[in-house]
Amino acid sequence: MTSLPYDSLLLLDAARELCTAGAQLAQRGWTPANSSNFSRRLDQDHAAITISGREKGRLGEADIMVVDLDGRAVGSDHQPSAETLLHTQLYRRFPDVGCVLHTHSRNQTIASRLYARDGGLNLSDYELLKAFPDTQTHETRIRLPVLANSQDMVALAENIERELADGPLWGYLIEGHGLYAWGANIALALRHLETFEFLIDCELELRKLQS
């Protein structure tokens, strides 16, 4: 029997975590239709990721597969998410990133259209900014970039790479699409995702009240 190039027990643990996260995020309405994709690092060369086209609120362990950090399927004939390269580029660039979550909430999608012309959304003077690593005060500013959407994942990843080089970042929006957020583990990735969602909601509401 050919041995797997990754730890199957780690895969099982990752799959269970991603399934639980998928159910939670779907319940909030952040994964409409078959949208969104989630991944968790397995080791320095592999990540577990959702199989393309699966309903994220009803994920089972069989809906999670393994890819290498070039985005190629490992030990499976299934097709990984079309946006796999956007996950693996974070794992390649940042050894401390352990989980990447991509969702499509209404707020995220609206903000991605509204702030696309500005190239991003500046978040400042919110107490909740302290939810991000190494942020000790509300008197700070975090930029949430908005990148033009593209079906060419290689080109999109190259544009994202330029934003990452200006870091630090804990997320970005894709225009007309949704939010990518990440962290050292799934709990932190969820915390960053929830923080961005809350702050985006605040900014959209303020914009309405000020108009």
Domain ranges in the chain are 8-210
Q: Which of 146, 198, 142 is nearest to 170 (CA)?
A: 142
Instruction: Give per-residue pLDDT as tens, 132-165.
Output: 998 888 888 999 999 999 999 999 999 999 999 8
- Reported as a pLDDT band with limits 50, 70 and 90, residue 2 is low
The rounded distance, in Å, linking the Cα atoms of 45 and 42 is 8
pLDDT score of 1: 44
Task: Supply the pLDDT for residue 167.
Answer: 73
At 7, is the pLDDT very low, low, confident or very high (cuts 50, 70, 90)? confident
The pairing of strands 64-68 and 99-103 is unpaired
**In the predicted model, what is the mean pLDDT of residues 54-72?**
95
pLDDT at 81: 85
CATH architecture for the domain at 8-210: 3-Layer(aba) Sandwich (3.40)
Token pair 């998928």 in the structure block, residue = 22
Residue 208 backbone phi and psi in degrees, to 5: -65, -45
- For 210, the enclosing helix (H) or strand (E) is helix 186-210
> Which positions ≥6 away from 103 have C-beta within 8 Å?
25, 30, 31, 35, 36, 178, 179, 193
Residues 98-102 have a mean pLDDT of 98
